[in-house]
Structure 1
Amino acid sequence: MLSKILFTTTLLLAIYMIGIDFFKSFYTSQHQWQDNIVKAQNYLYNKKNSENVIIGSSLSNRLIMDSIPNLTNIAFSGLSIFDGLNLVLHKDILPKNVFIEMNVALRPKDDQFETSLFSPISFYSKKIFSSLRDDKQPVGIAGVYVNQKLTKKVLFKIKSFTGSMKASKVNSNKDLFQTMLNNQITQYSISPDTILIEDRFTLLQKTIKYLESKGTKITFFEMPVNQSLCNLPKATIIRQNFQKYFPNKNYTYISTPSCSEYKTTDGVHLTNKEAIKYTLYFRSEAENIIRQKNL
């Protein structure tokens, strides 16, 4: 009996592993942390090297990558540019061009994220068997299927309530947005600690010099945020230090459009419509930069 159970289990596992390897494009994640892990694993284990890479936080994670061919976005929600740079440094072949978001340059690397990706047994087993990766978990795949079925069943019921809720929803959204914006204003009004600034920018400078020594070209860009935040101390000091450590005469910057031209969901994250708008602008600028640097 036990032998039959072991045989059946092994057979089913083998079928699952073969099937998942056959459908490698299948993708699922269950929450933000796992979505970050999945994105990182897809970048690390991809045999095709990315020549052009975007590094950033949840702000540049909003870029619509289907509209930007030939660029790989490894911006992570809740994480920092140092997490993305760490991934790049683990690739055998470094990208030709790296676009680095400036907005959250003071946020530190997440050690737990690094450990989740690079503990030796986990790293190499998932590199060899794609079925072991986080986006191929059976529970997640089953969840996607069930969610799709449930969504179809409740969609009509949800629609029947929307008409009567529109007015109150608009007022509620405005109040919520103002609360979130006020929180961001408070944070952006505080001048960052001098020692923290020096620590982060010294580390960034060291990392960038290494990439440049290997032939990688660096470009900096700043995601637009709510106009009430653009010139507050935190944003201003970050810009000043980028110019101090990476002066315009030596480095390429994508000009930041006027913040007044963009709307956000909470003060810092672009709405879907505005994300599309900025993506088109970023794409045009990035393509010109790549073309010039590859001459």
Structure 2
Amino acid sequence: MIKKSLIAFFLFFLLLEGFLRKDLLNDEWLRSGQNNWSINILNSQNYLYKYDLAHFNCMIGSSISARFNIVKEMFPPEIFMLPFNGLSVHDGLNILYRKERLPDTLFVETNVLDRPANAEFASTIGSNKWEEKLKYYVSSLREAHGPLDLASQVTTSAIIVFRNKFGFLGGDLPNKAAMDMVREIEVEKQNQERKKQSQDKTFTHKANDLENEFWSQMDNLHQKGVVIVLFNMPVDCRNEKSETYYNNLYAKAKSKGFLVFDRVHCQDYATTDGTHLSGKEIERYAHFFLAQRAKLNGSAVLN
């Protein structure tokens, strides 16, 4: 009985691995319906194990810049979006160093620099190099390709296909932007619950320790040839840090040879909750972001 079970498991494992390697499923399809924690994990694994351009840029940040995923199609493929919902720049930096190659240019959102990395998240991605190597070569070991999640996505997609083709299931499909907005709200609520249930001990770090760590990481990347670009996203004026804070932050960045995007005024943009830009506003800010990038590209200062 045990022998038959092992054989059955092994056959299922091979079938799943073969199915995934055929690329019958794409990442966006697999990622739909995931909760906040899972989306962060899947995005990290996609960056570590699948994203493989010869030259690429990367963006790290908090849930504020994670809103860019709503308008991801506006960005060129050489910019990988690695901001995390409910986490921080420090979590993004941890993932960045796990990849064998560093990005040519790193875009860093500076709204949330005083939130430490989450140790639980780091261990979930991979507790050691052997585990990471296995996940790199064996697709079916990655969280995105778990059999229960695949079954759920197959069922959902089958319903959508029948609804679109035959129209007998009724109702209009919500557009992608609307679905993304709903998902963002849901995952943010789930993240708040998670934070209430378990506060990681790393959150006891002092703000100045985190800032020193941040600058140390930036210096290290800069010395390795990575172009550092800092940017600040608009939030509700009541929640924005002081002008003095950002003036000091960017003065220090420029003194180190880092690049800085122009800041926009908080009154010019609307948020959904005082912190996160609405769908239309994130699209508008994305245009501004890309214009700032083009400006630096025109000056031949970006890799």
Pair in the same fold by TM > 0.5: yes
Give the equivalent residue in structure 1 for 2:211.
Answer: 201
Q: Which runs of 5+ in 1 are unaligned?
A: 160-194
Q: 2:10 matched to which residue of 1?
A: 10
Equivalences for residues 96-135 of structure 1 within 5 A: 96-120=104-128, 121-135=130-144
- Confirm whether residue 88 of structure 1 aligns to residue 104 of structure 2: no
- For the pair shown, the structure with the greater C-alpha radius of gyration is 1
Q: Is the 8 A contact 1:54 1:99 kept in 2?
A: yes
Say which SS state the counterpart of residue 35 (structure 1) adopts. helix
1:36–1:200 Cα change, 3 Å = same
After TM superposition, list the pairs within 5 Å mapping 1:266-281 onto structure 2: 266-281=273-288
How many angstroms does 1:48 deviate by?
3.0
- Structure 1 residue identity aligned to 2:13: L
Paired with 1:32 and 1:49, the residues of 2 have a C-alpha distance of 30
* Residue matched to 2:62: 57
The answer for unaligned runs of 5 or more in structure 2 is: 175-204
Is the Cα–Cα contact under 8 Å of residues 97 and 219 in structure 1 kept in the other structure?
yes
1:34 partnered with 2:42? no
Compared with structure 1, are the counterparts of its residues 158 and 135 closer, same or farther at alpha carbon in structure 2 (3 Å cutoff)? Answer: closer
Question: What is the match of residue 19 of structure 1?
Answer: 19
TM-score by length of 2: 0.76
The aligned residue for residue 225 of structure 1 is 235
In 1, Cα distance between the equivalents of 2:67 and 2:291?
A: 17
Please tell me the residue identity of whatever aligns with 2:94: N
Shift in alpha-carbon separation, 1:235–1:83, aligned structure 2, 3 A: farther
**Residue matched to 1:187:** none
Structure 2 CA distance for partners of 1:80 and 1:131, relative to 1, 3 Å: same
Deviation of 1:218 (Å) = 0.6
Pairing 1:141–2:129 present = no
For the structure 1 residues 131 and 238, does the alpha-carbon distance in structure 2 shift closer, same or farther, using more than 3 Å as the test? Answer: farther
Query: In the alignment, which residue of structure 2 is the partner of 1:169?
Result: none
* Alpha carbons 1:54, 1:75 under 8 Å: kept: yes
CA 1:50/1:144 → structure 2, altered by over 3 Å: closer, same or farther? farther
| Alignment match, 2:301 | 293
Does residue 1:45 correspond to 2:60, yes or no? no
The separation in 2 between residues aligned to 1:24 and 1:206, in whole angstroms, is: 43
Query: Number of aligned pairs?
Result: 257
TM-score (norm 1): 0.78
Conserved in 2, the CA contact under 8 Å of 1:103 and 1:238? no
Offset at residue 76 of structure 1 (A): 0.5
- The answer to whether the 8 Å contact 2:253/2:259 transfers is no
Alpha-carbon distance change, 111 to 238 in structure 1, aligned in 2, over 3 angstroms:
farther
Q: Which residue of 2 aligns with 1:282?
A: 289
Change (3 A) 1:73 1:228: same
